[in-house]
Structure 1
Amino acid sequence: MTLVRTGDAKLIRELNKAIILDIIRKQGPISRAEISKIVQISPTTVASCINALMKDSLVMESGTGVSSGGRKPILVQLNPNDRFLIGVAVNASKITIAAFNLYANVQKKITHSLQNETYSDLSDFLITLLQDFLEDFDQKEDCLGISITFQGIVDADKGVVVYNPKLNMSNVSLKDKMEEALHIATYIDNDTNGSLLAEKGYGHYQQAKNLIYVTIGDGVGASVLVNDAIYRGYLGGAGEFGHTTINFNGPICECGNIGCLENYVSWQTIQSRIEEEMANGKKSTMSMWLKDNEQLTIEKFQQAVLQEDPLALVILDDVAFYLGIGLVNLINLFNPEKIIVGGELANDNPYFIRKLNEFVLKHSLETHTEKFAILPSSFGADSEVIGAASVLLHDLFHSTI
């Protein structure tokens, strides 16, 4: 690994620190000399960066290594629990807030439902939730930052939620609002970009350089990794996979278009179809929840799938068919190594993953499916909030993507 040495001196120092911190995270305990060999920069520069990282309580010394002839080297490793960060995942139905250490391990988590919530401004509501959450932490100055992910179009550089129709958000400068109220550095990004960063930083697919992450639940989104860099699009709007058209004779979407993929595979569509089919006399184990006036949730739908409920399986097969059409287009267009399917509908749902693999292997170009597979998220139900945390962690540990 060779660092580019041109440009602003302060920027180079920050890039050096990010690279060295990531080496320590992945390979620590490790000596300063070994780090110098790996990153190909001078021992003096490495020592200076490590001193700065130790001053920030991000790195600590941890014993000695094996001598190669002289004094035993002092090893350094990540100091994961001295500082913390907060990840916030916001979707149409709930807000999940979690505190993490530097290894992206959850230390505290709460979930707040938005199903029956009314608010004039989600920003103010979110600030109140975070203020309450932070009350449990004595040393708020030890918080490295807050990272928040949303569905829809997000300008990550400016920290603006550009377009989220489900939450009625348009050009909301959320980063500025949060930092003004909480006095903590805040990062904003699209939820699927966060999930992809989590896979690259901490998941099972860290070595992949051409990867697509698709999330399916309240909505449908995609994040595309091309040659080890996230493709964000001209204005940060890349990845609106749910608003690709699959049927010009289909229903009108909330985005204003006709026949969007999201209208065929989102949870709202599935829920409406279940209720319609049972109203027309179709038998299903899911009827017991409706009879008891319980809310029909994704988890209950998945339970019906595991029990091989005929109606649940028919509906899920249709969802796999329509989503499969979209995935075939992504495969033929981007030729990824893998597609990861996450989100509430895909979590703990091996039947769904199998059906998607069967469909895309049958309909995609053969040249694009050699050694290819659709795989589940590494993090299951925590994928959204770990994705949120990974936005900040990526900025801390990496100088690319």
Structure 2
Amino acid sequence: MKKSDTEQIRAANRVDIINTLRVFGPLARVDIGQRTRLSPATVTAITSDLVAEGVIREVQKPVSATGRGRPRVLIGLNPDHASALGIKLSINEIRLMLGDLQGNIVAETVVTADTQSLDQASLNDLLVDQASRFLEDYPDHARRLVSLGVAIQGIVDAHRGYSVWSPALSIKNVNMTAALEAAFECPVELANDTNCIAHAIHKHPEYLQKPDFAVIMIGYGVGGSLILNGDLYSGHNGAAAEFGHTKYTPTGPTCACGKAGCIEAYVADYALYRDARALIDLPETDRRHPSEDEMRHLTQLARDGSTPARELFDRAGRVLGFGIANVLALISPERVVVTGPGVRAYDLLEDSIQAGIQEALIPELVGRTEIQSYPWSEDMTGKGVIALALGHFR
């Protein structure tokens, strides 16, 4: 075996051990070996190096599995050893997040900007300037910065670092990574926002052993992501699982992408609020991005018995069910996870989702896949983009 091959294998094993500790927390060396399937000698050699470098450390309170004999010493990541910067770009909003080596978000801020007016140069300037300003407030993290992650709505070419199309921007085929890489001298990972959510969910211990599941994000848009054979599947061009832009009907309402009849045109926040304003006395809002308060108000109207509001959510659930039925027929995942800000109304959607699935699928395929909601108590996009940024740290 060539020396370069040996070095690559060792580097990959380091990444595997670091990522295992990030997901499962402090572990004994024997448990690391069991989870990574690395030999005891390999685990001992690599963890010794990582301890010496300050990447990992021994936990102060060793534990014994049996209560007898020598207790097993646990080792875990040193969260202060390295930092990552996450940037989430959505319509008229930039969210910046700092994550520690454990993947915890330790600081964040939101900047409003007219994202539709940006060209490539002004977008580069805005992202670099806002990231620099944010890091100035956290000099210790700035010194430890090892990577960046960028999440954006729409279609991305992650391999090239390009946003192919996004509703957040008026320009297409935008280089999202080069200016940031040059400014901060760090690698930059680009991903679709729903892929970031799927990545974050997949790192949860409950889902880590689920090799095949689909994630449907509902809220400011509608997105999809696939975990197949334990890995994020993005397709040949990085645009797999654009669930929101699959068709419910070719003659339906207009979607943010400009086409008619997309699933998103019925289910996204902007679609629900747009159609509700035609039926109910609601305040005017940003037609592309109604606020969380406005959506909660509309949701409560439906719960309180407003027939037009309730019918809109029933229709949205049925459309979503038809879309999920296509996923079940094509992919047959073990589980479909519905998440995003839109799960605020999941109680209004759930029955009609199931009705749509039963209407669209042959009976033999109904009930073989679990459909569940995943709470949106925190922004999973942020956790996912930080995890992606740290995924190759070694």
| Fold in common (TM above 0.5) | yes
Inter-CA distance 114–274: structure 2 relative to 1 (3 Å threshold)? farther
Q: Contact between 2:234 and 2:240, CA under 8 Å: does it hold in 1?
A: yes
Residue 30 (structure 1) aligns with:
27
Residue 295 (structure 2) aligns with:
301
- Distance, in Å, in 2 between the alignment partners of 1:378 and 1:188 is 25
CA RMSD of aligned residues (A): 3.2
**Amino acid in structure 1 at the alignment position of 2:59:** S
Cα distance per residue 1:62-115 (max 9 Å; x no partner): 244549998765432222244322222222242222222334332112122346
Cα distance per residue 1:146-201 (max 9 Å; x no partner): 11111112122222222224412422222211011222321111111111010010
Where structure 2 has 5 or more consecutive residues not aligned to the other structure, the ranges are: none
Residue 100 (structure 2) aligns with:
101
Inter-CA distance 65–290: structure 2 relative to 1 (3 Å threshold)? closer
Inter-CA distance 80–263: structure 2 relative to 1 (3 Å threshold)? same
- Distance, in Å, in 2 between the alignment partners of 1:104 and 1:38 is 19
SS of the equivalent of 1:234 reads coil
Residue 84 (structure 2) aligns with:
85
- Distance, in Å, in 2 between the alignment partners of 1:251 and 1:38 is 49
Where structure 1 has 5 or more consecutive residues not aligned to the other structure, the ranges are: 279-283
Residue 321 (structure 2) aligns with:
324
Residue 230 (structure 1) aligns with:
232
TM-score normalised by L of structure 2: 0.84
SS of the equivalent of 2:160 reads coil
Residue 386 (structure 1) aligns with:
383
Inter-CA distance 256–277: structure 2 relative to 1 (3 Å threshold)? closer
Give the superposition deviation at 1:243: 1.7
Inter-CA distance 252–157: structure 2 relative to 1 (3 Å threshold)? same
Q: Contact between 2:115 and 2:168, CA under 8 Å: does it hold in 1?
A: no
| 1:333 correspondence with 2:327 | no
- Distance, in Å, in 2 between the alignment partners of 1:105 and 1:178 is 22
**Amino acid in structure 2 at the alignment position of 1:174:** M
Q: Contact between 2:272 and 2:312, CA under 8 Å: does it hold in 1?
A: yes
Cα distance per residue 1:348-399 (max 9 Å; x no partner): 64333444234325543444443633222344341221222222244449xx
Q: Contact between 1:31 and 1:75, CA under 8 Å: does it hold in 2?
A: yes
SS of the equivalent of 1:54 reads helix
SS of the equivalent of 1:167 reads coil
| 1:132 correspondence with 2:133 | yes
1:343-362 equivalence runs, <5 A: 343-347=340-344, 349-361=346-358
Inter-CA distance 207–42: structure 2 relative to 1 (3 Å threshold)? closer
| 1:157 correspondence with 2:162 | no
Inter-CA distance 116–87: structure 2 relative to 1 (3 Å threshold)? closer
**Which deviates more from structure 2 when the two are superposed, residues 337-346 or residues 375-384?**
375-384
**Amino acid in structure 2 at the alignment position of 1:99:** L
Q: Contact between 1:61 and 1:76, CA under 8 Å: does it hold in 2?
A: yes
TM-score normalised by L of structure 1: 0.83
Give the superposition deviation at 1:217: 2.5
- Distance, in Å, in 2 between the alignment partners of 1:67 and 1:332 is 45
Q: Contact between 2:92 and 2:115, CA under 8 Å: does it hold in 1?
A: no
The count of corresponding residues between Structure 1 and Structure 2 is: 382
Q: Contact between 2:213 and 2:335, CA under 8 Å: does it hold in 1?
A: yes
**Amino acid in structure 2 at the alignment position of 1:297:** S
1:272-283 equivalence runs, <5 A: 272-278=274-280
Cα distance per residue 1:37-81 (max 9 Å; x no partner): 554444443233213323443211224454999876543222224
**Which deviates more from structure 2 when the two are superposed, residues 183-192 or residues 363-372?**
363-372
Residue 216 (structure 1) aligns with:
218
**Amino acid in structure 2 at the alignment position of 1:138:** P
Give the superposition deviation at 1:16: 0.8
Residue 51 (structure 2) aligns with:
54
- Distance, in Å, in 1 between the alignment partners of 2:65 and 2:340 is 48
**Amino acid in structure 2 at the alignment position of 1:17:** R
Inter-CA distance 381–299: structure 2 relative to 1 (3 Å threshold)? farther
Inter-CA distance 31–340: structure 2 relative to 1 (3 Å threshold)? closer
Give the superposition deviation at 1:298: 3.9
